[in-house]
């Protein structure tokens, strides 16, 4: 076996990413036998299709419009989540997102394409569309993550405009919050609006995007899971994609979205993989009930699934079969 192949195989084994049978399945010339990326063979894959966390009708409408007109999944997810970034009534994404405890609105976003390229911005201020800055990071720089002032400077260089992200409502809420300055790291169980979106285009190619203002009144400088590739979002065009919403710290601890994609690679359905993802988190938080996490996944066949800690998480799905808001099962009833 060539050294390069040996190293490749040993690192995959060490990471537990391929089964023993796949490794030992060598022909007489000691060349690795190709093993399928997904255990199930697509009979009639559903495409195009788009899914997103929560009941974001307008965002999925927009993404569907892109997909239906023959657009790529990358354009679909970017333009889809931009709808929420611009919607000032959504107070955890883009303009109108709630600030941190120092009164700064700081945004996190990432995007990932069919070739495994990705871009991300963290702690970005004064820009309405962090997802588009993340795409520029992916396409115009040799880097993956830009943070804070550097990300903001880069955005201006790319032609993005400076804009106050506060709205009258979020400023008023913040001023009221200052009266008590109660610091809670948990996100209200009923109140999550982060948008994670996954799409498969007519070519069968998969992309994803995720964007948020994170936890309201977080410590200045805090970054959640949403812009962290593998945590809040992960896409593998051979297997599927996953995204998350909820308390980011818990998602980061298990590298949730990457875990779910790898579970699908090993043959689990999107539903089974999301359930396992939540169970891993709950194992580290035995008895804890004061937080919500919602996972959403899609595989290459266009099958989807979701699971959450508490009832209430839903996801939108839009394909030729229709446009639906799906309720998902939860760990606690």
What residue numbers does the annotated binding site cover?
222-225, 245-248
| Closer to ligand SD4 by Cβ: residue 86 or 202 | 86
Would you call 227 helix, strand, or coil by DSSP? coil
CA-to-CA distance for 37 and 19, rounded, in angstroms?
12
Active site residues: 194
Total binding residues toward ligand SD4, as defined by CB under 6 A: 15
Instruction: Give the binding range for ligand SD4 (CB under 6 A) out of 7-15, 27-35, 154-162, 240-248.
Output: 240-248
Q: How far is the CB of 293 from ligand SD4 (least distance, A)?
A: 8
Please tell me what DSSP assigns to residue 293: E
CA-to-CA distance for 255 and 229, rounded, in angstroms?
9
Q: How far is the CB of 270 from ligand SD4 (least distance, A)?
A: 19
Q: Tokens 């009144």, residue?
A: 217
94: CB partners within 8 A, 6+ apart: 84, 85, 86, 87, 107, 128, 129, 130, 165, 211, 213
Closest CA to 278 of 267, 265, 291: 291
Binders in 74-113 for ligand SD4, by CB under 6 A? 92
Binders in 174-213 for ligand SD4, by CB under 6 A? 187, 192-194, 212
Closest CA to 246 of 229, 223, 224, 267: 224
Instruction: Give the binding range for ligand SD4 (CB under 6 A) out of 34-42, 66-74, 130-138, 221-229.
Output: 221-229
Query: Binding of ligand SD4 at residue 214 (CB under 6 A)?
Result: yes
| Closer to ligand SD4 by Cβ: residue 72 or 194 | 194
Instruction: Give the binding range for ligand SD4 (CB under 6 A) out of 97-105, 111-119, 122-130, 219-227.
Output: 219-227
Q: Do residues 183 and 176 touch, judged by C-beta distance below 8 A? A: no
Closest CA to 267 of 58, 14, 18: 18
Interface residue with ligand SD4, options 80, 248, 256, 277 (CB under 6 A) = 248
Query: Binding of ligand SD4 at residue 245 (CB under 6 A)?
Result: yes
List interacting residues with ligand SD4 (CB under 6 A): 92, 187, 192-194, 212, 214-215, 224-226, 245-248
């Amino acid at each position: 076996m060539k050294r390069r192949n040996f190293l490749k195989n040993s690192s995959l084994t060490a990471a537990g990413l391929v089964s023993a049978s796949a490794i030992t399945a060598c022909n007489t010339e000691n060349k690795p036998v190709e093993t399928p990326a997904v255990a199930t063979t697509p009979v009639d894959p559903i495409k195009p299709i788009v899914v997103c966390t929560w009941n974001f009708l307008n965002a999925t409408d927009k993404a569907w419009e892109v997909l239906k007109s023959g657009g790529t999944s990358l354009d679909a997810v970017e333009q889809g989540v931009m709808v929420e970034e611009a919607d000032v009534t959504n107070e955890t994404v883009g303009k109108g997102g709630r600030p941190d405890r120092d009164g700064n609105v700081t945004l996190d976003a990432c995007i990932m394409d069919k070739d495994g390229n990705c871009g991300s911005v963290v702690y970005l201020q004064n820009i309405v569309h962090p997802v588009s800055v993340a795409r520029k990071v992916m396409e115009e720089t040799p880097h993956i993550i830009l943070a804070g002032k550097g990300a903001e400077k880069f955005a201006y260089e790319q032609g993005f405009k400076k804009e106050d992200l506060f709205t009258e409502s979020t400023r008023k809420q913040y001023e009221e919050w200052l009266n008590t300055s109660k610091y809670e790291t948990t996100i209200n169980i009923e109140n999550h609006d982060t948008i994670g979106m996954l799409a498969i285009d007519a070519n069968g190619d998969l992309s994803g995007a995720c964007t948020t203002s994170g936890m309201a009144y977080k410590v200045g400088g805090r970054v959640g899971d949403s812009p962290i590739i593998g945590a809040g979002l992960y896409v593998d065009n051979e297997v599927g994609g996953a995204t998350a919403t909820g308390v980011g710290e818990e998602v980061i601890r298990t590298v949730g979205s990457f875990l779910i994609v790898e579970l699908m690679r090993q043959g689990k359905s999107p539903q089974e993989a999301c359930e396992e993802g939540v169970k891993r988190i709950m194992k580290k938080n035995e008895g804890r009930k004061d937080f919500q996490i919602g996972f959403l996944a899609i595989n290459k066949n266009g099958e989807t699934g979701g699971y959450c800690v508490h009832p209430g998480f839903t996801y939108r799905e839009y394909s030729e079969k229709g446009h639906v808001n799906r309720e998902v099962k939860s760990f606690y009833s």
